[in-house]
Structure 1
Amino acid sequence: MHFSKTLATAATFAMTAYAGFPVASVSFLSWEKCDVGHPAFGEPKFSADVSATPVTCDKTTVNRDWSIDNYSFRAHMDTKDTFFCHGVTIWNNDGCSGEPVHFLPFHHGPFTEGQCLPDILEPGYVSFKLACHGFP
């Protein structure tokens, strides 16, 4: 009981800390098969969720399961200030550095779903940062 109360308090603190700041939830989806260049449908084989901001670099691991042939990304604007953001920049490393491998644009709405990508990611990590006006 004490553990779940601590988690609830931490979640409330996190939401309060982000008030008035651009924040998006990003899902990194791994697929056994989907049509490259088209939206992915159904349930992904694996999914990892992170938060993205314009000043932090959040990451998750690339699943190297032999059955994974494709990847896709989804994002949802968590705060109203995220409407000043163009989208999510994605790197194939753990530090949001170097040349990005993908950009997931927001298309004038709070939710965006990227198209199915081929297995272009190297083992390791994918990292995320919001691309927003007024932030480097």
Structure 2
Amino acid sequence: MLALGPMTAYAGFPVASVEFLSWETCDAGAPAKGEAKFKADVTATPVTCDKTTVNRDWSINNYSFRAHLDTKDTAWCHGVTIWNNDGCSGKPVHFLPFEHGPFAEGRCLPDILEPGYVSFKLDCFGFPGGA
């Protein structure tokens, strides 16, 4: 069970579903199209750090991210911060913004991720680590 402590004053708790996609080929900066070679699903909240492994298959040349706000209590959330480690620490490698509604469709990124993990945190105003 997730202990919320002083944050229980909020009407609800924001949660987002995030997809980490690995592509054989995808034009960097362009929208990701077609079927990804690998996909990992994680959950992001403003107080937890969820992670998945970076697929190091030799055929992977690009990555992208997608996110969807799952709960109604996400009006103050503006994106997902992404790190290339397992602890949501240090300098993030990417930020996936929610620009127009509850969906965020990331663009293709070059193979910038180091072996290991990517970790995710929902960035929301009023929560620790949020703006």
Would the TM-score normalized by the shorter structure come out above 0.5?
yes
Select the residue among 51, 54, 68 that pairs with 2:46.
54
Per the alignment, residue 6 of structure 1 pairs with none
Aligned residues: 118
Identity %: 85
Larger radius of gyration: 1
Task: Please give the root-mean-square deviation of Cα atoms over the aligned residues, in Å.
Answer: 0.9
Structure having the larger proportion of residues in helix:
1
With structure 1 as the length reference, what TM-score do the two structures score? 0.85
With structure 2 as the length reference, what TM-score do the two structures score? 0.88
Query: Once superposed, which parts of structure 1, at least 4 consecutive aligned residues long, lie more than 6 Å away?
Result: none
Per the alignment, residue 75 of structure 2 pairs with 83
After superposition, the C-alpha distances for 1:59-115 in whole angstroms (9 at most, x for unaligned) are 000000000000000000000112210100000000000000000000130111000
CA distance in 2, matches of 1:54, 1:97: 14
Per the alignment, residue 35 of structure 2 pairs with 43
> Once the 2 structures are TM-superposed, how far is the Cα of residue 41 of structure 1 from its aligned partner?
0.2
Q: Is the 8 A contact 1:77 1:83 kept in 2?
A: no
Per the alignment, residue 15 of structure 2 pairs with 23
Gaps of 5+ in 2: 1-10
Gaps of 5+ in 1: 1-18
Q: Which moved more, 1:19-28 or 1:73-82?
A: 19-28
CA distance in 1, matches of 2:40, 2:53: 8
